[in-house]
Chains A and B, each alone.
Chain A
Amino acid sequence: MRETFRLSMAYLHTWLGLILGFVLMVVFFFGSLSVFDREIDRWSVPETRAEAAPFPSFDRDVRPVIAQVRPDPHSVEHTAAEVIGTLPAAEDMKASDMGVYTNHRDPLVRMYVAFDVPNKPRDPLLDHVHVYGYASIDPQTGERLPPDLQDRLALGTGFFFPLHYMLHLEWKNLGYWIVGLAGMGMLVALVTGVVMHRKIFREFFTFRPGKGRLRSTLDLHNMTGVLALPFLFLISLSGLLIFAYMYFPSPTALMNPLMEVQEAADAERTGLAAEPSGRPGGLASVDAMMQDARARWAANGVPGEVGEVYIAHLGDADSYVSISRDTVDRVATGETLHFSAATGELIYEDPPASAVEAVDGFLYGLHFQFFRHWPLRWLLFIGGLMGCACIATGFLFFVEKRKRKHAETSIPGARIVDALAVASVSGMLVATCAMLLANRLLPIDLAGHDVWQMRVFWFAWLFSLLHAAIRSPRVAVGGTSPAWRDQCWMIAGLALAAVLANWATTGDHLLSTVGMGYWPVAGVDLVLLAGAGAAALAAYRLGRRAAMTSHTLKASPETASIGRQAHV
């Protein structure tokens, strides 16, 4: 649409980045934290600070719990909105399927039970509507976790992880769609970013920290973008693919009859019933099936532990048990054996993945990161943070490039973008650290303990936006907002306070956790301290620079022509 292809791509890069960058910042930052979601869970629910343990006995520890699990009120509420008519009472719902899983980083075995509801869904595309109930088991003791502990908000898996993929906007799944659009925007920004820079390999090695704000910001934006390009592209792509079935529902929407026929044909071929028969059936020893599965994996040269057990059609004659090998040794998931629930005999073994399934499984596993490979896990965490740095420097470049011109012509654009950038970069960190601190300081017996932590998070974030807006007038005259410095000090203070509060409330200080080698908690504390140090350093340097430049604000003739041709 512009004069040349390159100019239209530059135009797209600038404006799409500006609009979606705020969402992408959230997605990338909380995605990075989710790489260590289990560790953050341990930190935020100290009662569960234990070593990970292998899958326990199903027959002794898991099986008695199935009948105890009741529909979760939150799930009942969610499903009630999805179906026509009123749901039956929770105690009348019948359990249909269940799954139980653990992972090499988890000291808990988690299980869910799906309950059938007779109601028809409002959306005819939802062919199976369920209500879910949950339970957690301590594999060390075989005991079910008490309900107050099980339902406690774990900040990693319970808050930061869902924030990463759906922004806690449940209404009409709006959060999923916003994140999806932002993910597409990230891919567009990556491609257009490459197109608009012809000297991409030279920029890879270019960083001129002394050459003025505009130059160094752009260099840093290019360097993080190019260095992490393969990672940023693959992580955005694989994240979108997880929800592709939801984003592009055309096959299910338009070819449902054909799909149902094929589903039945697949069930016929594998012997795994798609629907229950309606006749009652028993459940043989699942421990024996797990033993059989381990023996088969060992015989196939891939010895391993059970990662997940899934039972379809509980109590039905056609019920079957699917047992999956844990995923410590590979990226892709899968490798499942299916047994008859009634007899315990093997019905079907997943065949080796086809090319399509192998690529799909790899991308899926790359995003969920169930593997046991700590250097790779840290690399993915750092890659995510580089994505954040790339997005943040994009904002800064947008502001730096325009603020002088906007100051001359009294346009508020640069000032508004700068305030929003402050809130979405440093404000997000302020909110996160405030939430971690609140998690340690709010008394456990406080009514609405979980809700108060969330309130602290959202209000701290809102406060950071207001603070950024109030402190932004200096941007309107071509200067730098002192909000950046203020909020860096806040981050440093809150992160340090969170580490101290963890020590004060649990006794787990760093000497003890590092000494014991309990890395889930030591790691969170160390990252918080590193973050506090980095924030304090940034605040100090911003303060020094502000003192140096405050009297020479109008003097520096910064080269405003960089990239001008490409930016409109």
Chain B
Amino acid sequence: MPTLGRFAAAIAGGYVFTNGFVVSTTLTGFIFGLRYFEAQTLAWLLSVIVYLAAMLWAFAERRLARVWLVLGGGGLALCVGAWLLSRQLL
């Protein structure tokens, strides 16, 4: 079932990655001087495009393991990083 594995990586991996992107972009924008809620709006504005790109890449990339590593692993790393850093700013 290579097709199902590919769809799972695109949808789930891409989803984790996009959440990582949104939270880290909100925080980065805020740190670089945007108002918090404006940074958040910007991140959500870009979220759909990022998810789209992640899904397409998941189908274009030959090695499925790499898709999971970059999208799933990268997304988780961004989430954890933003979570830790946001607590430093309080």
Q: Which residues of B contact A (CB under 8 A)?
A: 2-3, 6, 11, 18-20, 22-23, 26-27, 30, 34-38, 40-45, 47-49, 51-52, 55-56, 59-62, 64, 79, 82-83, 86-87, 89-90
Q: With A191-B52, A254-B86, A257-B87 in contact, do A15 and B3 touch (Cβ < 8 Å)?
A: yes
A15 to B38, CA, bound (A): 38
In the complex, which residues of chain B have a beta carbon less than 8 angstroms from the beta carbon of A251?
A: 22-23, 26, 40, 43
A-B residue pairs in contact (CB < 8 Å), sample of 17: A1-B62, A9-B56, A184-B55, A187-B52, A241-B45, A241-B48, A244-B45, A244-B47, A249-B19, A251-B40, A254-B79, A254-B82, A254-B83, A255-B86, A259-B36, A356-B38, A356-B42
| Interface of chain B: mostly helix, strand, loop or mixed | helix
The answer to whether B22 and A255 have CB atoms under 8 Å apart is: no
A181 within 8 Å of B (CB atoms) = yes
Could you say which interface size class chain A belongs to? 35 or more
| Interface of chain A: mostly helix, strand, loop or mixed | helix
Neighbour of A188 across the interface among B26, B43, B52, B64, CB < 8 A: B52
A359 within 8 Å of B (CB atoms) = yes
A262 within 8 Å of B (CB atoms) = yes
Neighbour of A257 across the interface among B11, B43, B62, B86, CB < 8 A: B86
A184 to B27, CA, bound (A): 25
The answer to whether A1 and B23 have CB atoms under 8 Å apart is: no
A187 to B52, CA, bound (A): 7
Q: With A1-B6, A188-B55, A254-B79 in contact, do A248 and B62 touch (Cβ < 8 Å)?
A: no
The answer to whether A248 and B60 have CB atoms under 8 Å apart is: no
In the complex, which residues of chain A have a beta carbon less than 8 angstroms from the beta carbon of B36?
A: 258-259, 262, 265-266
In the complex, which residues of chain A have a beta carbon less than 8 angstroms from the beta carbon of B64?
A: 1
In the complex, which residues of chain A have a beta carbon less than 8 angstroms from the beta carbon of B40?
A: 251
Q: With A255-B83, A255-B86, A357-B38 in contact, do A241 and B44 touch (Cβ < 8 Å)?
A: yes
Contact with B along A177-213 (1 / 0, CB 8 A): 0000100100110011000000000000000000000
The answer to whether B90 and A360 have CB atoms under 8 Å apart is: no
In the complex, which residues of chain B have a beta carbon less than 8 angstroms from the beta carbon of A359?
A: 45
Residue of A nearest to B2 (CB): A1
In the complex, which residues of chain A have a beta carbon less than 8 angstroms from the beta carbon of B79?
A: 250, 254
Taking A9-B59, A255-B23 as known contacts, 14 extra A-B pairs with beta carbons closer than 8 A to each other, sorted by chain A number, are A1-B2, A5-B60, A184-B48, A187-B52, A247-B47, A248-B18, A248-B44, A248-B47, A250-B23, A251-B40, A255-B27, A258-B27, A258-B86, A266-B35
